[in-house]
Amino acid sequence: MYNFKYVKDSMGYVFGDKILIDLAECLKRYFRETDTVGRVGGDEFII
Protein backbone atom coordinates (compact mmCIF):
# COMPACT_ATOMS: atom_id res chain seq x y z
CA MET A 1 0.00 0.00 0.00
CA TYR A 2 1.43 3.33 -1.03
CA ASN A 3 1.59 6.16 1.52
CA PHE A 4 0.34 3.92 4.31
CA LYS A 5 2.75 5.47 6.82
CA TYR A 6 1.29 8.91 6.06
CA VAL A 7 -2.27 7.62 6.56
CA LYS A 8 -1.35 5.88 9.80
CA ASP A 9 0.56 8.89 11.14
CA SER A 10 -2.15 11.39 10.23
CA MET A 11 -5.25 9.31 11.07
CA GLY A 12 -3.87 7.36 14.03
CA TYR A 13 -2.67 3.86 14.71
CA VAL A 14 -6.14 2.50 15.52
CA PHE A 15 -7.38 3.60 12.09
CA GLY A 16 -4.24 2.21 10.45
CA ASP A 17 -4.73 -1.14 12.17
CA LYS A 18 -8.36 -1.22 10.99
CA ILE A 19 -7.22 -0.65 7.40
CA LEU A 20 -4.73 -3.53 7.67
CA ILE A 21 -7.38 -5.85 9.09
CA ASP A 22 -9.89 -4.91 6.39
CA LEU A 23 -7.30 -5.38 3.65
CA ALA A 24 -6.31 -8.79 5.02
CA GLU A 25 -9.97 -9.87 5.05
CA CYS A 26 -10.41 -8.71 1.43
CA LEU A 27 -7.31 -10.62 0.36
CA LYS A 28 -8.53 -13.76 2.14
CA ARG A 29 -11.89 -13.57 0.33
CA TYR A 30 -10.24 -13.02 -3.05
CA PHE A 31 -7.85 -15.97 -2.94
CA ARG A 32 -8.56 -19.69 -2.58
CA GLU A 33 -8.91 -21.35 0.82
CA THR A 34 -5.71 -23.29 0.13
CA ASP A 35 -3.74 -20.05 -0.41
CA THR A 36 -2.03 -18.39 2.52
CA VAL A 37 -2.17 -14.65 3.09
CA GLY A 38 0.11 -13.11 5.67
CA ARG A 39 1.45 -9.76 6.73
CA VAL A 40 5.22 -9.52 6.42
CA GLY A 41 5.49 -6.24 8.29
CA GLY A 42 4.49 -2.65 7.98
CA ASP A 43 2.30 -2.43 4.90
CA GLU A 44 3.61 -5.54 3.13
CA PHE A 45 1.63 -8.71 2.60
CA ILE A 46 2.70 -12.07 1.21
CA ILE A 47 0.49 -14.52 -0.65
Cα(first)–Cα(last) distance of the chain, in Å? Answer: 15
In the predicted structure, residue 43 carries a pLDDT above the cut 80: no
Domain ranges across the chain? 4-46
Q: What is the pLDDT of residues 9-42, one digit of tens each?
A: 999 989 988 988 898 888 888 888 899 888 787 7
Taking the C-alpha atoms of residue 20 and residue 1, their distance in angstroms, rounded to an integer, is 10
